[in-house]
């Protein structure tokens, strides 16, 4: 079956629940209870958003969220914001290290958080200036631009990245 790519105004969305929407295509086809997921949650935020039905089967893919009408964009963005929790680390106040275990005492856009990391494992992943952090419980955090952090935070991170 050919994949349905959604661009511009070829679909209307109605928010059904926190992370769920109903979709009606321009040709009249209707799809219920679709959950938008990012196909590239780490590398791309607004493109290639898959719409999965209750059985996890893909019904369509939004090629680029920005091409959708503003109100439609917001509906999908709201769902994604509920689904994805990747707090942005704004500042690292302090750290505590003991062998492989590292605790970062961080300020995030979602509030203060003590992040426990295993250094030797996949704790940090750097892509250019962006740093993805994964804690011991598989929670994810993001530093969008390491150069924008204050010097203390950069100094602390510099020990491990």
Kindly list the residues in this chain that would bind another protein in the complex (CB under 8 A).
17-19, 41, 56, 81-87, 98-101, 103, 108, 110-113, 116, 118-122, 135-140, 158-160
In the complex, least distance from residue 131 CB atom to another protein, rounded to whole angstroms: 14
Q: How far is the CB of 121 from another protein (least distance, A)?
A: 5
For residue 109, with 0-12 CB atoms within 10 Å meaning exposed, 13-18 middle and 19 or more buried, which class applies?
exposed
Nearer to another protein by C-beta: 31 or 83? 83
Least spacing, CB of residue 4 vs another protein, in Å: 21
CB of 136 to another protein, least distance (A): 3
Nearest CB to another protein, comparing residues 25 and 58: 58
**Strand pairing report for 124-127 and 130-134:** antiparallel
How many Å apart are CA 17 and CA 124, to the nearest integer? 33
Within a 10 A sphere around the Cβ of 95, how many other Cβ atoms?
19
Give the C-alpha separation, 23 to 75, whole Å: 11
């Amino acid at each position: 079956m050919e994949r349905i790519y959604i661009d511009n105004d070829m679909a209307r969305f109605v928010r059904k629940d926190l992370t769920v929407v109903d979709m009606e295509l321009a040709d009249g086809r209707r799809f219920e209870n679709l959950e938008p997921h990012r196909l590239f949650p780490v590398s791309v935020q607004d493109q290639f958003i898959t719409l999965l039905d209750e059985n996890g089967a893909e019904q369509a893919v939004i090629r680029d969220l920005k091409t959708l009408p503003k109100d439609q964009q917001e509906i999908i963005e709201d769902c994604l914001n509920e689904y994805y929790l990747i707090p942005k680390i704004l500042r690292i106040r302090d750290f505590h290290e003991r062998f492989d275990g590292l605790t970062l005492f961080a300020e995030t856009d979602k509030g203060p958080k003590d992040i426990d990391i295993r250094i030797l494992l996949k704790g940090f992943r750097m892509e250019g200036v962006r740093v993805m952090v994964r804690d011991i419980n598989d929670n994810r955090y993001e530093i969008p631009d390491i150069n924008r952090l204050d010097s203390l935070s950069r100094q602390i991170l510099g020990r491990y990245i």
